[in-house]
A and B are shown apart, each in its own frame.
Chain A
Amino acid sequence: MFLLPKGSPLFENLAASKLKLPEVLSKLSTAAFTGYASFIFPATTTLLVFESGKLVSIQQEDQRGEQKNGFEALTELAEKIVTSTSGTLNVYKLSKDLTACIHSLLQGEILYKAQELKLIDIKSLLDKIKSDQMNGCLRIYTADRSAMIFYKEGNPLGFFHDGSQDIETSSVESQKIATMPGAKIDLYSTQGAEALMDMDLLQVTNVQTIWDTAVERQQSESAKVSQERQERDRKIMALKLNDLEEQLKTIVSEYCGKVGRAMVDKELSDQGGNFCIIDENGAAKLLAGIERGAKLLISATNIRAMMEKLTNLVQTAQSDL
C-alpha cells in the first residue's frame, strides 16, 4: 500500500480505535496544521493532507491498490476507526511546499506502479521524464521505507524522505533505498499547483454526521451480532438442556418404570423448566422431588443407585455449562 516518507513526527502509532475522527480533524484544523496524517489499518491506508489547517486531500488505498477519495474516503475512514480494533495514526509535519507536492501527487495519475527497480532501465526512465517535461513524482520504496523525487517540467524539484520536513536537495537517502533488495518504483504524473482544487473538505462535509452515522451503524451491527450470538447460544443451550432432560428421564424410567418419565416431567414443571438442572438450588429441589416419588415405587437400594447416577449427571452438566 501507499507509503509516504515520514516527515517531522508530531504523533506516531496512536491507537486509532481510541480516537474520534471529528476531534482529530478539528484539532489539526484549529492548529493550522500543515503536513499529513496517515491512518494505517491492516487492510487499508488513508492519507489526509492538511495545508494550514485545511483538509485539502484525502485518499484511501486498499491492499489491491483500489483507491477512494474525498467524501467516500472519509466515510470509509470513519467506518474503519469505529469497527477496527487495530490501526494506528501517524501525523507528520511538512513544509507548505512539500505538502503541496504531496497534495498534487495524490491528485495525480499513476504511470508505472510497483516496478522492480532491478528490472527497469532507470536511466531511460529519467531521460523520458526530462524529455516529456513531466510534472510528476518518482517514488522509490521498500516494504517499510520510501523516498520521493519531485519533478517539475522534467526537472527534479527535490527529494522527500523519512525525517524531512521540507523538500531536500540531497539524494543520498533515495539512492540508499534504491540499492535495497526488493526496491520498487512508482511513477506519478501530477497536475500543476494552479490546476489543483484548493477546497477545504472539512467545510463541505459534515464530519460529525459521518462519524455519528458510522458509530450508529457499528452499534447496530454489534447489537445485531450480539443478539444473533445470544440467540445462537440460547438455542445451543436449549438443545443441551433437552438432551440432559432426556438423559434424566432415561435414568429414572430405567429404575422406576414408564411412570418415571412422567414423574420427571412433573418435577421439572414444578421447578420452572429444564433450566433448573444447571442451577444449583433448582437441581437440588428437582432431585429431592424425584427421590420423594421414587420412595413410593422402588427399593432403597435402587433409589441410592439411581440418585447417584442422577447426581453425577447433574454435576457434570453444571460444570460443563
Chain B
Amino acid sequence: MEKVIEILSQINPFDLTLVILWGLAGVISFYFSIGNARVWTSIAIGFFLIFISQAYAINPYLQYYKLSAFHYIIGTVAIMLITHGFLEYYVFCKTFEISGKKIVVYLTTLLILAASGVFLLINPTPGPNTIRNIKMVENAIWVFLCLMNLELVRKIYLSIKDSDISKGFIAFGIVFFFIFLWKGSELYLQVYLWDKDWQDIIAMATDEVTDIDQYPLRVQLSQQVNKYAGLLSGLSVGGTFTYIYRLLK
C-alpha cells in the first residue's frame, strides 16, 4: 500500500487522471457486459482491457520489463476483442444470427492473455528497444482496427437506423475517432523516432541519433493530440456505455 501511495505521488497528474477515467470506463463496460447479450460481451471486455493496459502507469512492478510488455499486449488483445464484437454485431444486423456463449468470450480472452504471458516468460527479458517495438505494433494494430471499426459502426448504424440503440453507435463512432487520434499520434511519433521512449533509448549512450529538434511543431502537436485524445477516449468510452445502458433500460 505504501508503495502504491509512493507511486501515486510520483505519477504525472495527467496520466493519473487518464488511468482513473479509463478505470471508470472499464468498470462501466464490465458491468454492461454482465447484463447483456453475448455480442456486447466482446465489446465491453475489450474496453475494460484498455483500462488494464493503461494501468501500467500505476503498476508498482513496472521495472519488470516482461510485465511492462504484457501491458502493451493486453492493449492489442483489447482492440482485437472490440473489433470482434463489432463484427459480430454487423453479422447480426445482416443475418440476425446470434450464436455462442458469453463464457466462451471470457475464457478465450483469458486463454489468449495467458498464452501471451507464457510467450513472454519463455523468451528473454525484453529490453527497452523490444518493449518499444511491442508498443509500436500495438499502436499500429489500434490505428488500422480503429479505421475498420469506424466503417463497421457506420454500416451498423445504417442497418438499424430507426431502433433505440442506433444513436449509441454514433457515440461509438466518436469514441473510435478519438482513439484513432490518440493511438495514431503516438504511432506517428514512434515511426519518425520522435517518441519519448526512443529519446530515452538514445540517451543511454547508444550510437543512435534523432532529428526531433528539426520538427518541434509536429512533435509538439502530436504529443498534445496524444495527450488529450487519450483523455477524451477514456471520457467518451465511459459516456458511451452509460448512454447505451440508458438506451437499453
Q: Which of A227-279 contact B (CB under 8 A)?
A: 256-259, 262-263, 266-267
With contacts A298-B248, A299-B248 taken as known, whether A293 is within 8 angstroms of B96 at the C-beta atoms is yes
Q: Is the CB of A293 within 8 A of B92?
A: yes
Number of interface residues of A (CB under 8 A): 18
Whether the pair A295, B36 counts as a contact (CB closer than 8 A) is yes
A263 CB contacts on chain B under 8 angstroms? 96
Determine whether A224 belongs to the interface, using a CB cutoff of 8 Å to chain B: no
The answer to whether B162 has its CB under 8 Å from any CB of chain A is yes
Q: Which residues of B contact A259 (CB under 8 A)?
A: 93, 159-160, 162-163
In the bound complex, do residue A293 and residue B163 qualify as a contact, i.e. CB atoms below 8 Å apart? no
Inter-chain contact B89/A296, CB cutoff 8 Å: yes
Closest to A253 in B: B162
Interface centre among A296, A298, A300 (most CB of B within 10 A): A296
A300 to B35, CA, bound (A): 11
B248 touches A300 (CB 8 A): yes
**Those of A271-321 within 8 Å (CB) of chain B:** 292-293, 295-302
A267 to chain B, nearest CB (A): 7
Which of A258, A262, A295 contacts B162, CB < 8 Å?
A: A258
A301 — nearest CB in chain B belongs to which residue? Answer: B249
Give the distance to chain B from A318, nearest Cβ to Cβ, in Å. Answer: 24
Q: Chain A residues near B159 (CB, 8 Å)?
A: 259
- How far is A293 from B89 in the complex, measured between Cα atoms in Å? 11
- B92 adjacent to A296 (CB under 8 Å): yes
| Contact between chains at A299 and B249 (CB < 8 Å) | yes
Taking a contact as CB atoms closer than 8 A, the residue among B95, B97, B160, B249 that contacts A297 in the complex is B160
CA distance A302 to B95 in the complex (A): 22
Inter-subunit contact A256/B163 (CB<8 Å):
yes
Which residues of B from 159 to 218 have beta carbons under 8 Å from A? 159-166
Instruction: Assess the B164–A302 pair: CB atoms within 8 A.
Output: yes
From A257, which residue of chain B is reached at the shortest CB distance?
B162
Asked if A266 and B163 make an inter-chain contact with CB atoms under 8 angstroms apart, the answer reads no
In the assembly, what is the distance between CA of A223 and CA of B220, in Å? 91
The answer to whether B39 touches A296, judged by C-beta atoms less than 8 angstroms apart, is yes
Which residues from 132 to 164 on chain A have a C-beta closer than 8 Å to any C-beta of chain B?
none
Chain B positions within 8 Å of A262 at CB level: 96
Residues B160 and A267 in contact, CB atoms below 8 Å apart = no
Asked if B112 lies at the interface with its beta carbon under 8 angstroms from chain A, I say no
Asked if B96 contacts A267 (CB within 8 A), the reply is yes
**Residue in B89, B97, B163 with the greatest tally of chain A CB atoms within 10 Å:** B163
- Shortest A61–chain B CB gap in Å is 71
Q: Does B110 contact A (CB under 8 A)?
A: no
State the CA gap A262–B92 with chains docked (Å).
Answer: 11
Say if the beta carbon of B121 comes within 8 Å of chain A: no
Q: Tell me which of B98, B164, B165 contacts A292 (CB under 8 A).
A: B98
Contacts of B166 in A (CB 8 A): 257
Residue among B39, B93, B95, B249 making CB contact with A300, cutoff 8 Å? B249
A296 contacts across to B, CB distance below 8 A: 37, 39-40, 89, 92, 98, 165
CB proximity of B244 to chain A, nearest CB, Å: 10
Q: List, in ascending order, chain B residues with CB within 8 A of A297's CB.
A: 160, 163-165
- Those 7 A-B pairs whose CB atoms lie nearest each other, nearest first: A257-B162, A297-B163, A266-B96, A257-B163, A298-B164, A263-B96, A295-B37
| 10 A-B pairs (CB sep. < 8 Å) | A257-B161, A259-B163, A266-B97, A295-B248, A296-B39, A296-B165, A298-B165, A299-B247, A299-B249, A302-B164
- 20 extra interface residue pairs, beta carbon distance < 8 Å, beyond A296-B39, A296-B40, A296-B165: A257-B160, A257-B161, A257-B162, A257-B166, A258-B161, A259-B163, A266-B95, A266-B96, A266-B97, A292-B37, A293-B96, A295-B36, A295-B37, A295-B248, A296-B37, A298-B163, A298-B165, A299-B164, A299-B248, A300-B249
